[in-house]
A and B are shown apart, each in its own frame.
Chain A
Amino acid sequence: MSKFYSSVTKKIWMSFMGLFLMTFLVVHLSINLLLVFDPTKNLFNEASHFMGTNPFIQLFQWVLFAGFVVHIILGLILQIENWVARPKGYRVKAISEDSFFSKYMIHTGVIIFIFLSIHFVNFFLVAKGIIGEIPKTQIDGKSVDDMGALVIALFQMPYYVVGYLIALLILGFHLDHGFQSAFQSLGLNHPKYTPFIKGFGHFFAILITLAFMSIPLFIYFSK
C-alpha cells in the first residue's frame, strides 16, 4: 500500500474521513439528545424510524460504513509503518514537549473500535432485525420500532453506563487531537485561523463528550 499511496496521501484521506465521521457524530448526538428533551421517546422513535427507513439514509449508511473502514484501516497501516520506522527505541523515553493525546491515537482508536463493535451489536444489528427483538410502539396510529425502550433498558444497567461513559471519554481524547490534526494534514494552516481551529477542536471534543455522556446519566438517574 505504501508503494501506491504516499504518506501524505494517506494522511489526507485519514483527515477527510476523520472530519466526515465527526459530522456523523453531530447527527448521531442530535438524535440521541431527543431522548433527554422528550421523555415520551416519541421524537426519538420517529427520528430512528426516519433514519432506518429513508432510502437516501439507507444508501448513505454504506458511505458512512466505508468512512469507518477507510479511517480504521489507514490508521492501522500508518501506525504499523510508524513502528517499523523505529526498530530500536530509546532507553530514556522521549520527553519532548508535544501534543499529549496525539501519542495515544492508536490506543484510543482501538478502544473506540471495540466500543463501536459492541455498540453495533447492541443497537444497529438489533434495529436492522438481525439479532434480538425490538418492542413496537404506536405514534399517531403508526406502528414503529421502540428504539427508545431499547436504549433506556440498556442504560438501566450500571456497568453498561460506566463502560459507555469511559468509552466516550476516550472518544473525547481521540477527537481532541483529531480535530486540529485533520486541518494540519489537509494543509489548512493560517496564522489568523489556526489558533481558532485549535481552540474550537478542544471545545468540540469537550462538547461532544459531555453531551453524549449526559444521555445515559439522565436516563439512569431519572428511572
Chain B
Amino acid sequence: MDLKLKIWRQPSAHADGKFVDYQVHEISKDASFLEMLDILNEELVNKGEDPVAFDHDCREGICGMCSLFINGRPHGPDNAITTCQLHMRRFKDGETITIEPWRAKPFPVIKDLMVDRSAFDEIIQAGGFVSIATGGVPDANAIPIRKQNADLAMDAAACIGCGACVAACKNASAMLFVSAKVSQFALLPQGKVEAKERVQKMVAKMDDLGFGNCTNTYACEAECPKEISVTNIARMNREFLVAKLS
C-alpha cells in the first residue's frame, strides 16, 4: 500500500507546530498502524531527519500508552481497539491519513504526537485508591458480592487510562475515565468505605486540571477502546449527589 500522511509535527511543548506531509510506500496491509509509523521513522532516520515522536509500549492493547487522533477518531476507524491493534488493511491504497495528537488543555503536547497525560495520574492520586486496612487475601467466598456488581466493577476496571474519552469529547471532558475509576471501587465492599470522599476529591481534581464538563454526548463511550459504559458517569453523578447530601 502507498499512503499519504499528514502528521502534526511540533518540536517541543512550547514551540509552534504544523502539519507535515509524508509519503510511505509498499506498506503491508497486515502491518499495524504503529509499524507503519515505525517504517516512516526508519526512513526519516536514514535521511537524517527527526523521527515522529508517538507514544507506544505494550502494543497489545492493554497498557494505554498509544493514542493518536486518526482521520477524526481517537484510535482510528475501528471500534473497541487501541491504535496499536489497528491494521493497515483498514485503509485504502493511496488514502490520505491525518494523524493528530489528543487535544485538550490538561493534555499538553510534549512533542509531535506525544501528549502529557499525567493529569490522569493526578486524578488517581486524589482518591483513586483504597487506603483502609483490608487485611490479607480472604477466601473467595468470605466476602459476599453480587455477581452483577462484580461484573460491573470488572468492566469499569478495564479502563486503561489512554485518554481517548477526553480526545473524543467535544468538551475535552474526563468524566468517563474518572467515573470508571470511581465505579470500580464504589461497587465493591473495600472501596465503598471511602466512596464519599473519593468521588468528591477526584471530581475536584478533575475540575482543577481544566477538563471540560460532560454534556452527555456519549462520544467517549463510542470511542473507548475498552467499551467503558456511560452508565459509569451516571453512577458517579449519583455517588457525588449522595456524598454531598449526606
Are A91's CB and B98's CB within 8 A? yes
Are B98's CB and A99's CB within 8 A? no
Residues of B within 8 Å of A97, CB to CB, are 219, 222
Are B103's CB and A184's CB within 8 A? no
Residues of A within 8 Å of B215, CB to CB, are 78, 82, 102, 105, 181
Q: Does B217 contact A (CB under 8 A)?
A: yes
Q: Does A214 contact B (CB under 8 A)?
A: no
Residues of B within 8 Å of A96, CB to CB, are 72-74, 168, 219, 222-223
Tell me the smallest distance from the CB of A68 to a CB of chain B, in Å: 19
Within the assembled complex, what's the spacing in Å between the Cα atoms of A180 and B233?
A: 14
Are A90's CB and B103's CB within 8 A? yes
Q: Which of B69, B172, B203, B237 contacts A184 (CB 8 A)?
A: B237
Give A81-133 interface residues, CB cut-off 8 Å to B: 81-82, 84-99, 102-103, 105
Tell me the smallest distance from the CB of A161 to a CB of chain B, in Å: 32
Number of interface residues of B (CB under 8 A): 49
Tell me the smallest distance from the CB of B166 to a CB of chain A, in Å: 9
Nearest residue (CB) in B for A2 is B207
Q: Does B149 contact A (CB under 8 A)?
A: no
Give B138-189 interface residues, CB cut-off 8 Å to A: 168, 170-173, 175
Within the assembled complex, what's the spacing in Å between the Cα atoms of A194 and B234?
A: 11
> B-facing mask of A1-14, CB < 8 A → 1, else 0?
01000111111100
Give B33-63 interface residues, CB cut-off 8 Å to A: none
Within the assembled complex, what's the spacing in Å between the Cα atoms of A194 and B19?
A: 43
Number of interface residues of A (CB under 8 A): 41
Nearest residue (CB) in A for B235 is A187
Q: Does A71 contact B (CB under 8 A)?
A: no
Are B19's CB and A94's CB within 8 A? no
Are B203's CB and A85's CB within 8 A? no
Within the assembled complex, what's the spacing in Å between the Cα atoms of A216 and B210?
A: 46
Q: Does A137 contact B (CB under 8 A)?
A: no
Q: Does A186 contact B (CB under 8 A)?
A: yes
Give B230-246 interface residues, CB cut-off 8 Å to A: 230-231, 233-241, 244
Tell me the smallest distance from the CB of A179 to a CB of chain B, in Å: 11
Residues of B within 8 Å of A185, CB to CB, are 214, 216, 237
Q: Does B100 contact A (CB under 8 A)?
A: yes
Are B171's CB and A82's CB within 8 A? yes
Within the assembled complex, what's the spacing in Å between the Cα atoms of A84 and B98?
A: 24
Residues of B at under 8 Å CB distance from A? 6, 8, 19, 69, 71-74, 98, 100, 103-106, 168, 170-173, 175, 200, 203-204, 206-207, 210-219, 222-223, 230-231, 233-241, 244
Residues of A at under 8 Å CB distance from B? 2, 6-12, 78, 81-82, 84-99, 102-103, 105, 177, 180-181, 184-189, 191, 194
Known: A85-B212, A184-B216. 14 other contacts (CB 8 A): A7-B175, A7-B203, A10-B213, A12-B241, A85-B172, A86-B104, A89-B103, A91-B6, A95-B71, A102-B216, A103-B217, A185-B214, A186-B237, A189-B235
A-B residue pairs, 4 tightest by C-beta:
A187-B238, A189-B234, A85-B212, A82-B171
